[in-house]
Amino acid sequence: MGATEIVIERLLEEFRSDEADRAWRSFLTAYSDLIYGIIRTFTRDADDAGDCFIFVCEKLSDKKYRRLRAFAPNGPARFSTWLRAVVRNLCLDWHRGRFGRRQLFRSVASLGATEQHLFALLFQRRLSTQEAWGEFARSCPGIAYAEFESKAAKLRGLLTSRQLWLLSTSNTTHESLDSEPEASMAQELVDPTPGPELLAGLQETHLAVGKALESLHPSERLLLRMRFSEGLALHQISKLVGLKDAQTADRRIRSALELVRQKLGLPKFLAGKPGPASV
């Protein structure tokens, strides 16, 4: 039995004990990146992604972590593979609750979560094949491109010409385009690529920040990731990791940022009273 499997078994035991809250924090520290990565394949909007993350975490912790305790360590699937499938299903539930079952035809509704996810990428979000493959590969890493093509072809074969027409005329969210051709042309003429000196500086800063973050305790890295990468509000973070309130989460985050500042040798942050903890 590998080290990962041993850790998972230990977590499952703790979920059934008085140490369940500690096990939940350990689980979030280890797997929040995986969860958030799958969520981002369902929505590009940062606010929606944060809402979906909260929804997934609430469902995973619901009824004394019933879903997580259902994993069978001796089963055929690794925990990370099993968790991806569970999170994809929860993302579909969140998406349906938020946007309804728009254009989910009976022939598609009878398929599994993987095929429904691919349907959403190709036909509801109208991504190109390459764009869909890029997002699909991140959320379903065990599936090869040939299998992806086969599933896509099967989906197209299930849809009638009328269904394809309905999908093509349904409202979708697109990135806004500048209606002024002169402004659009001017934007195209500006080269946004940073120069070599700036790239070198950015790379050096990235490595230094990464090293500073690695020196933090995993619980501190989790707080920073939730606040700044996933954009969660302080009251949401305190609820997820079991802190007393938003003010406590704010103090912990500020303390972690101060440790990062010291590691980087930056000037001391501006002094003053902390801002509203509800944002």
Residues 4 and 63 in one domain: yes
Using the predicted structure, report yes or no on whether residue 173 has a pLDDT greater than 50.
no
Q: Helix axis angle, 46-69 relative to 234-241, nearest 10°?
A: 10
Residues 8 and 96 in one domain: yes
Least confident span in 64-78, 82-96, 175-189: 175-189
pLDDT of residue 261: 85
Task: State the pLDDT confidence band at 252, using cuts at 50, 70 and 90.
Answer: very high
Residues 135 and 113 in one domain: yes
Q: Choose from 122-131, 168-177, 180-189, 236-245 the range with maximum mean pLDDT.
A: 236-245
Give the domain-ending residue among 50, 76, 100: 100
Residues 38 and 120 in one domain: no
pLDDT of residue 195: 54
> Does 182 reside within a domain?
no
pLDDT, average across residues 133-145: 82
Task: State the pLDDT confidence band at 174, using cuts at 50, 70 and 90.
Answer: very low
- Give the up-direction half-sphere exposure of residue 190: CA atoms within 13 A in the CB hemisphere: 8
Residue-number span of the structural domain to which 137 is assigned: 103-168
Start-to-end CA distance of the chain, whole Å, equals: 44
Helix (DSSP H) and strand (DSSP E) numbers for the chain? 14, 0
> Does 217 reside within a domain?
yes
Residues 76 and 32 in one domain: yes
Q: Helix axis angle, 20-40 relative to 79-99, nearest 10°?
A: 70
Give the domain-ending residue among 149, 168, 187: 168
Task: State the pLDDT confidence band at 67, using cuts at 50, 70 and 90.
Answer: very high
Give the domain-ending residue among 168, 183, 217: 168
> Does 32 reside within a domain?
yes
> Does 224 reside within a domain?
yes
Domain CATH number, residue 38: 1.10.1740.10
Least confident span in 1-10, 59-68, 205-214: 1-10
Using the predicted structure, report yes or no on whether residue 180 has a pLDDT greater than 70.
no
How many domains are there within the chain? 3
Q: What is the mean pLDDT of the chain?
A: 77
pLDDT, average across residues 249-258: 90
Residues 258, 217, 271, CA angle at the centre, nearest 5°? 10
Residues 110 and 201 in one domain: no
Cα torsion angle, 60, 64, 68, 71, sign: negative
Using the predicted structure, report yes or no on whether residue 103 has a pLDDT greater than 60.
no
Using the predicted structure, report yes or no on whether residue 181 has a pLDDT greater than 70.
no
DSSP state of 126: -
Residues 3 and 91 in one domain: yes
Domain CATH number, residue 250: 1.10.10.10
pLDDT of residue 277: 45
Residues 87 and 3 in one domain: yes
Query: pTM for the whole thing?
Result: 0.52
